[in-house]
Chain A
Amino acid sequence: MKRLTSQLWLTGIFLLGLILAEAAVVIAYVRGSIADADIERLSTTLLKTYAVPLAVAIAAIFADGPRQSAERAIGQAALRKMRLAAVLAALWNLLLLWRTGVFLMRALDPASENPNEVAQLEHYIERVAELSSFLIAAALVWLFGERDKER
C-alpha cells in the first residue's frame, strides 16, 4: 500500500463519520423533530469534534506535496501499525455514531418524546470525544510521524 493511500484511508474514516453524523442531524431537522436552533447547535458540536482529526489528516496529505514519499509503498511493519491506527480511529467514530444513530431512530419514530434529546446528544458527543481522544492518537501520529521514519 502506498503512503498516500493509507493517509486517504485514515482521512476517509473521519470524513465518513462526520458525514454520517451530520446526515442524521439533517434528517431529524427535515422531519421536524428538532428546531432551527438545534441543528445549528448540533452541527457546531460535530464540526468542533471532528475539526482536529480532520485538520491533521488533510494537512498531512498536503504536507507531503510533491515529495516522493507519498507515492512510495510502505513496509509490512508500518502497514500493521497503519491498520491498528485505522481500527482505533474507526472505534472512536463508532463511539460517537451509535449514539447519533439512536438519535436518528428517535427522530424517525413519531411516538418518541424527549425534550432534552438534543442537549443529551450534544453532551454525549462532547464528553465521549474528549475522553476517548487517546483512540485517535495513533492515527494522528501515523499521518505525520511515520513519514520521516519511512525514508
Chain B
Amino acid sequence: MRQWISLAVVLACAPAFPAAPNEPAAVGLNVNGARSANFQVTVDSVRKLQLSDSQDAFDVTYHYAFKNHDSLVIDGVGLVTPEGGFHYTSKTPQIAFRSAGDDTELVKIFLRPTDATMGSGDAEYVTPDLVAKTARTGVWRPAKTFPDKACNLLQRYYPQGYLLNPDNVTNRYSTGFRPLAVDDPRIRAYIGLMIEFSPPFAANGVTELPFQVRYELRERPRLSNEYRYNDAVSPKAQAAGEAFLNDVMKALTPGK
C-alpha cells in the first residue's frame, strides 16, 4: 500500500519538473524569438552540434530589428547595426542584445534546437593556441558594420560555418579549415582563420574598429595524416596561404 501511495505522489509531481534540465522553460522566457513594440528577434533555425573537444555548440540562424537604436551589441558578435541577421555557431545557448551606449541588456533569447542533427558532428575550429605567431591587422570603419562584413566574408570562404569564441576582452570568430590550391601534387594544404577584435562596448561615437586576422596553416602528404603547421609547411603552401590572406585582407579593407 505504501509503495502505491509513493508512486501516486511521484506521478502527481512529475509535471512540475522540466523534461530536459538544460532547456529553459517556455513560460516567462524568450525561446527562439521575441517581439515587442520596439524590437523583433526571430530565430530561423537552431541545430545542436558537438565540437571536436566534445563541447556542445549551437548552429543558429536569426534576424532582428530594433527601433530607437543607432547601433547595439550582441554578446560574442560585437557592435552591430540595429537591423540585420547572422548565421554562426555559438557555445552558449542564448543570444543577448545590449544597448551600445550603456551596456544594458535589451533582450535575451534562449535557443532550443529546431532541427534534429544526424551524427555527432565533431566540428573542428581554429583555436588560439595553434594559430601562427604572425597576424594581419586592419582598421574597419564604421565599426558597427564590421561583424556583418566579417561574418559574410567568412560564410563565403567557409560555407560549413564559423564559431563565436569570445573571452572577457576579445571577440573571436574562428573558422574550420578550407583547402588551399597548392602547386604541388604531393601535398594537401589547409588554412583556418580567426578574426579578433576588442568589443567596443562604450560604443556610441566609435567609428573605427581595429581588428586582426590570425590563421592556422597546415599541410600533410597525400597519403598521411601527419600534419606540419604554420612555419613548418612547405614554401608552396606558405605562398598559397599568403595569397589567400591577401584576398581576405583586401575584402576587409573599407571601401573595397
Contact = CB atoms under 8 A, between A and B. Distances in A.
Interface in A98-151: 103, 106-107, 110, 112-119
B225 A115 contact: yes
Interface of B: prevailing SS: loop
Interface stretch (B135-143, B164-172, B184-192, B241-249): B184-192
Interface residues of A, number: 21
B91 interface: no
Contact of A119 (B188, B221, B225): B225
A31 interface: yes
Nearest to A116: B225
B106 to A, nearest CB: 47
A32 B221 contact: yes
Contacts of B224: 33-35, 38, 115, 117-118
B226 interface: yes
Nearest to A119: B225
B37 interface: no
Interface string A37-49: 1100000000000
B10 interface: no
Contact of B223 (A34, A36, A37): A34
A32 B225 contact: no
Interface in B184-232: 185-188, 220-226, 228
B186 A115 contact: no
A102 to B, nearest CB: 11
B220 A115 contact: yes
Contacts of A115: 188, 220, 223-225
A72 to B, nearest CB: 49
A124 to B, nearest CB: 14
A110 B225 CA distance: 16
